[in-house]
Amino acid sequence: MPRTEGDTWDLASSVGSTATGVAASRALASKQPDPLIDDPFADPLVRAVGLQECIRRADGELHVEGHPMLDNRRACEQIAVRTRFFDDFFSDSTAAGIRQAVILASGLDTRAYRLDWPAGTVVYEIDQPEVIEFKTRTLADLGAAPAADLRTVGVDLREDWPKALRDSGFDPDAPTAWIAEGLLIYLPPEAQDRLFDSIMELSAPGSRIATEHMDFGASQGAWLERVSEWSKHVGSKVDLLDLFYTEDRTPAGTYLAERGWEITVRTSAEAYAAHGFEYPEDLAAVAADSGYLTAISK
């Protein structure tokens, strides 16, 4: 079902189901020999949501030999590279002295529970109220405890989330590490700009942002069709093309650089190579120079 203004979701529907799919990939990657990532909470969270295609993904039952995203080895490499980028971003940020982190559209992200946070670090998770409630309750039932001072903020990012964040104790005078993982494509272009405007207003000097660097150029249509085909192949009832906003937008790096932030981009090929993986040629053909972006306020 296409997106509508003010639409909502849980972790089994619409945009929420994509968070469950990503968690299923993390669960599968965590089960591999000598895994690059270890998310012990991904598998039980996916099973608690109950989407069968995601459970089958977590169990490695959707393997298609040689497929760019459905081959288990390639799928595990892709999610491991992505997860480690954002894990390392937080590790680097706290090593630099930052003690305030915000995870935007947190979904089934479990970094507040599984990363090694320095004492005194406050982690804020922002997502739809139902998503926040489900994850918090499920992890509590599993006996999991946050490894930082976790403060959940149940609010739609299309609403006044900066106020809700400040009401939860957020300190705009302290440097902050922000991540927007797997989020921007689900926002209309103007909403993406507003999101970054709000982040910048709340960011003290030395704050950092990490997100995907999306630069598809003329190949965007081909990439979108590939992603839609992959989701249908695994039996998902959600067509990702109904969830994405594909209008032209200012790339995140350009928008932030024009406002004085220092930008660093790691291409997907570079991110794969950093972990000894080869970036698949068929993905490179449709993803151009896309990858991962870090921005630091001056």
Q: Is the pLDDT of residue 219 over 60?
A: no
The DSSP line for 176-197 is -EEEETT-GGGS-HHHHHHHHH
Query: Which residues in 8-43 are b (16+ Cβ under 10 Å) and which e?
Result: ebbbebbbbbbbbbbbbbbbbbbbeeeebbebebbb
Rounded to whole angstroms, how far apart are CA atoms 68 and 84?
Answer: 20
**What does the pLDDT look like over 258-295, one tens digit per residue?**
999 999 999 999 999 999 999 988 777 666 678 999 99
What is the pTM for the complete model shown?
Answer: 0.93
Ordered by start, the domain boundaries in the chain are 14-296
Rounded to whole angstroms, how far apart are CA atoms 119 and 116?
Answer: 9
Segment 62-69 shows an average pLDDT of 80
Q: Is the pLDDT of residue 1 over 60?
A: no
Contact present, 297 and 233 (Cβ < 8 Å): no
**What does the pLDDT look like over 170-186, one tens digit per residue?**
999 999 999 999 999 88
pLDDT band (50, 70, 90) for residue 234: low
Q: Supply the pLDDT for residue 292.
A: 97
- For residue 265, what is the enclosing H or E element? strand 262-267
Q: Is the pLDDT of residue 221 over 90?
A: no
Nearest to 156 by CA among 2, 1, 3: 3
For the domain made up of 14-296, give the CATH fold.
Answer: Rossmann fold (3.40.50)
Length of the chain: 298
Q: Supply the pLDDT for residue 171.
A: 98
